[in-house]
């Protein structure tokens, strides 16, 4: 993550802590909307119910993408 050389494709069966770490990184540094949308889709398909902290980061990422209604619901 520190040198921004991680692959979204290599993350399979991610746990809560991995998802939170990646969400934080994407919220701070990522500008590519395709990567953001891909991560959101992957997290939503991976978790039946989002953990509280991950829920907040997902709201921030949705806000960053301009999905204001979804962001408001998550936050």
Q: What is the DSSP track for 1-46?
A: -TTS---GGG--S--HHHHHHHHHHHHHH---HHHHHHHHHHHHHH
Q: Are 68 and 57 in contact (CB under 8 A)?
A: no
Neighbouring CB atoms inside 10 A of 20's CB total 18
Instruction: Report pLDDT for 46.
Output: 87
* Residue 4 clears pLDDT 70, i.e. is over it: no
- pLDDT, tens digit (0-9, with 9 covering 90-100), for 35-62: 899 999 999 888 888 889 999 999 999 9
- Compute CA distances 74 → 2, 12, 36, whole Å: 27, 24, 16
pTM of the model: 0.82
Q: Are 57 and 20 in contact (CB under 8 A)?
A: yes
């Amino acid at each position: 993550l520190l040198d921004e050389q991680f692959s979204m494709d290599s993350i399979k069966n991610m746990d809560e802590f991995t998802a939170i770490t990646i969400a934080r990184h994407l919220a701070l540094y990522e500008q590519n909307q395709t990567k953001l949308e891909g991560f959101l889709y992957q997290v939503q398909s991976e978790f039946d119910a989002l953990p509280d902290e991950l829920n907040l980061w997902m709201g921030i990422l949705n806000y960053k993408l301009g999905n204001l209604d979804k962001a408001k619901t998550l936050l």
